[in-house]
Chains A and B, each alone.
Chain A
Amino acid sequence: MTAMLNVRDLRAYYGQVQALHGMAFDLSEGSMTTLLGANGAGKTTTLRAICNMVRSTGTIEFEGAPLIGRPTESIVRLGIAHVPQGRGTFTTMTVEENLQLGAITRTDRAGVVSDIERMYDHFPVLKDRYTQQAGTLSGGEQQMLAVARALMLRPRLMLLDEPSFGLAPLIVRDLFKILGKINREDKVTILVVEQNAQLALELADKAYVIETGRIVMSGSASEIANNEDVRKSYLGY
């Protein structure tokens, strides 16, 4: 498999504070990869750096195109969807408008209409609430809306920052099932940051472990899941 995203020597800064200290990793096309790490390790920052939402240096290449210095909206237009931590829901707009916004760069109207229906199949609660203001949805419903909105782009690469945050355990299973399906059937490459490390490792092909802005371990998801240190720190057994 060829690498879809290459990251080399990535450093990111919040003002004077350096949050990433030379990260390097690859995402191969069609894979699902998970980033693990303690709170404050730099997982969110890594995803933000890919979309140029934090000042960074180094190289990030998406299918050969350099991303560093490219405006966020133009990175998105290359086919990279980002579900940010905190969801980024347009709370004053309706559920349906949020989905339409996810597809705002697309010009195939018929495709957009049928994709909205597809999202309602994946997430039936959204269908029941499609004229409701998104801000009035429950936290879990907003999380589903955020994932659905990202999918409306028909992305080639999807970045998810703690998609299970605030969801009930059963719903989390459902959500990951859907993500797995999207990964396999729609061939969307996925990079997911997840507190629920066990579940993420079950589904992912590959995993990276981050500590204070550096990658300290990498391998196939099953290798990482069987690593003693990882089990103690992230899986709790």
Chain B
Amino acid sequence: MELFTNQVLAGISTGAIYACMALAVVMIYQAIDHLNFAQGEMAMFSTFISWQLMQWGVPYWGAFVLTLVLSFIGGIAIERLLFKPLAKAPILTNVAGFIALYSIVNSVAGLIWDFTIKQYPTPFGSYPFLGSQLISTHQAGMIGVTILLLIGLFFFFRFTRMGLAMRAAASLPESARLVGINTSWMIALGWGMAAAIGSIAGMMIAPVVFLEPNMMLGVLIYGFAAAVLGGLTSPLGAVIGGFLVGIMENLAGTYIPGAGNELKLPIALALIIVVLVVKPAGLLGRPIVKRV
């Protein structure tokens, strides 16, 4: 029983990171109908920036906030320079854009900071949380930060004018323009927020997976899985999907004989495919109806 609780809690803490990545992916998908394959690399790059800031002597939380701001600006810049010009281009052109972004960010990070693995600090320490062996303080911290982020986003989208405008632009761009919303800037803002959310995921997971240019590859696959599982059209679904994927991954690794660390990813993904066969739009997603 203790093993079970332990695995579920560990699943929730990595699930929190998948939830953040899924949320970032959904945010951009809502805005431009494309999956951002480079979301993980953007998060990795942000994490390196925070690391560099700390190397220069900036304290942890100062570096954290500064990285959030820089990532937000960087996300907007990427949209303005690369994806705004591609807005009317065919799907494959956009896919090529994402792949280009992926490899550019990855190589530039390698060029600046090289490919050796680096230690990354945690502000929460790694002690037993509240004296319990079930979960560490860093894991508890990851869950806490994610929950704060989700509450903040909820209030932003529910109760602010900007949040309302962003939702309107994502759901019906033409109607949004007809009430005076600059939908093009809402898309850029979505990119900025997605980049900032991704940077939180990167900074939180870095102490666990260590810092290196390929650190987010696995995390992003789980994040995609979470987004698809929850429904690409539903931010809440993406978050729930993130936690579910985290839990499934850990339970599969522990309880399915012979699965171990190697097979837990395919098993978790197989479970998700089963869900999608039954419910193609994901757990909370709307069926996707394309306008013509």
Which residues of A approach B to under 8 Å, CB–CB? 51, 53, 71-74, 76-77, 81-82, 84, 88-93, 97, 100-102, 104-105, 149, 153
Contacts and interface: CB of A to CB of B under 8 A. Distances in A.
B15 to A, nearest CB: 26
Contacts of B171: 90-93
Contacts of A153: 179-180
Please give me the 9 A-B residue pairs with the lowest Cβ-Cβ distance, nearest first: A88-B175, A105-B180, A76-B180, A72-B177, A73-B177, A77-B180, A73-B180, A101-B179, A73-B182
Given A88-B174, A104-B161, A93 B167 contact: yes
B179 A76 contact: yes
Interface in B168-202: 168, 171-172, 174-183
B165 interface: yes
Contacts of B161: 100, 104
B86 interface: no
B286 to A, nearest CB: 8
Contacts of B172: 88, 90
B174 A53 contact: yes
A81 B178 CA distance: 7
Contacts of A149: 179
Given A92-B171, A153-B179, 16 more contacts: A71-B177, A71-B182, A72-B177, A73-B176, A73-B177, A76-B177, A76-B178, A81-B178, A88-B175, A89-B175, A90-B172, A92-B286, A101-B179, A104-B164, A104-B179, A104-B180
Contacts of A104: 161, 164-165, 168, 179-181
Contact of A73 (B167, B181, B286): B181
A89 to B, nearest CB: 8
A74 B178 CA distance: 9
Contacts of B178: 51, 72, 76, 81-82, 84, 88
Nearest to B183: A73
Contact of B168 (A51, A71, A74, A93): A93
A105 B176 CA distance: 11
B175 to A, nearest CB: 4
A74 B171 CA distance: 20
Nearest to A76: B180
Given A73-B182, A73-B183, A104-B161, A90 B168 contact: yes
A51 B172 CA distance: 16
A73 B171 CA distance: 16
Contacts of B286: 92
A51 B174 CA distance: 11
Contact of A102 (B167, B174, B177, B179): B179
25 contacts: A51-B178, A71-B182, A72-B178, A73-B176, A73-B182, A77-B180, A81-B178, A82-B178, A84-B178, A88-B172, A89-B175, A90-B171, A92-B171, A93-B167, A93-B168, A93-B171, A100-B164, A101-B168, A101-B179, A101-B181, A104-B179, A104-B181, A105-B180, A153-B179, A153-B180
Interface centre among A77, A82, A90 (most CB of B within 10 A): A90
Nearest to A103: B179
A76 B175 CA distance: 11
A107 to B, nearest CB: 10
B270 to A, nearest CB: 32
Contacts of A82: 178
B237 to A, nearest CB: 13
Contacts of A84: 174-175, 178
Contacts of A81: 178
A153 B177 CA distance: 13
